[in-house]
Structure 1
Amino acid sequence: MNFDWTYFWESLLLPSPRFLSGLALTVIISVVSMALALVLGLLVALMGRSRFLPLRLLSAFYVWIIRGTPLLVQLVIIYTGLAAAGLFRFEDVDLVGALIRGAVQAAIVGLMLNESAYISEIVRSGLESVDRGQNEAALSLGMTPTASMRKIIVPQAIRIMVPPLGNSFNGLMKSTSILSVIGVAEMFQVGSTMSSATFKVFEVYLVVAIYYLALTTVWTFIQTGIENALNTRAGLPRAESVWKRLFGLRSRRQRAVTAPAPVLQTTDAA
């Protein structure tokens, strides 16, 4: 195999400004999309818990449509399909001196809509995991349903929702690699352009994979810190260590605690 180690190490340790720009765009799109998806997902989850049937049906229909269709198809419909049908076209926007291209806007909207459907289910299950008696007790003390949700239910549910929400963000960052289909110059598309220009296909995509791995690893550290902070506030044990999450490594003491107890077998006397 003719692997160009010099080009590989230069691309990995001294990435070009264009590659760094694609890396930054990947992170920005991921963070903005996730923030918006959290807001929309919470709204959809609350609609699903509403006493009004039309809101519950609308929430269920939204989740059904979004979760039942591929993200790639959704992106193409949002960016290309709407423009072809004459319904809406994403135009470049100048926001505080920064030019936000239409493809980037469509990417954020597509990722937001897709992720919000999954987040709504995470939020719904998290809220339902809190004992309903606590809400009834808060209402009996004179709290409004909104105050009970904000002060009693949500603080307890957040600790339960953080791990799956963190995993969702991890997946969202990796999903940005398909944004190249609508012309977003994120990290994967920049890598594709580099491989076409240099014919260093394996070297370039290996570098891209390592940078994606670095992003998800950094987020694992952040997520673990958030979980530990919430557990400390609730007086609970710390979350699993980062090393255990990344590699499944556990100490002998942990293995001893989690190992199943031996089963004693007895035989009847003859």
Structure 2
Amino acid sequence: MISGYSKNGLAQEACKHSGLVEDGWKLFHCMSEYSIQPRHQHYACVVDLLGRAGYLDRAYEFIRNMPMEPGLSIWGALLTACKIHQHVPLGELAAERLFSLDPYSTGHHVQLSNIYASARMWDRVSKLRVLMKEKGLSKDLGYSSIEINGKLQVFQVGDKSHPRFKEIFEELESLERRLKEAGFSIDAESVLHDLDHEETEETLCNHSERIAIAYGLISTPPGTTLRIIKNLRACVNCHAAIKLISKVENREIVVRDANRFHHFKDGNCSCGDYW
């Protein structure tokens, strides 16, 4: 129940996915009053809570003072926070610990690569990709799915395999024009490759969830709620764009990404831009 509340943006019912840092901190420290001994997962939740809110140094100090040896979930929470807030030194430290514990985890390598890319450290991105290749690791392909009239449609970034791809991309172009007219501009940090501005814009506009939404718009009556499932975390740019799409199209759009449910409506998201 608590997980369901947190993943759907019900802030007063859950803490770590809503930025209620002090509430979560107090809950953790009052456990002993009820004779509950904090376990590894409780410490991981606190690191996640602090890290997502940007208290990275506080999270690291909390880890250093733990009465037990920090494991994968602890360092993983810190690495995720470093990715969100683009903290390179602490991200490298967390990744180093993770690589020693689980040297063949694709996700941890990709997260560190994303941290380097956000900082425009392309030489380190290249070295990490070489390391991944040597280990036989490959990044998971992002995809999004949408069910229309009982039929599931799955799209990848830039996907032109659908029979209606011309209509879909015409709708994407129309959406981009309307978004720009409404004042939307791309967040180039969402592209984790060394591209020029034109390539960056095209790449971001063709992310799988945007394609799925465009297909949903041309396949359903006005006002119909669209429900999208994405296997990876939604990028900052697409999150901002979908908020505006929900407003200009007067639609509710629900996107289930790797972290939570995002309920977009009237230009807002249930997560409060905290995910």
Give the TM-score range, shorter chain. under 0.3
Bigger relative contact order (CA 8 A; separation at least 6): 1
Choose between structure 1 and 2: higher strand proportion: 2
Relative to the length of structure 1, the TM-score reads 0.22
**Structure with bigger gyration radius:** 1
TM-score, length-normalised on structure 2?
Answer: 0.21
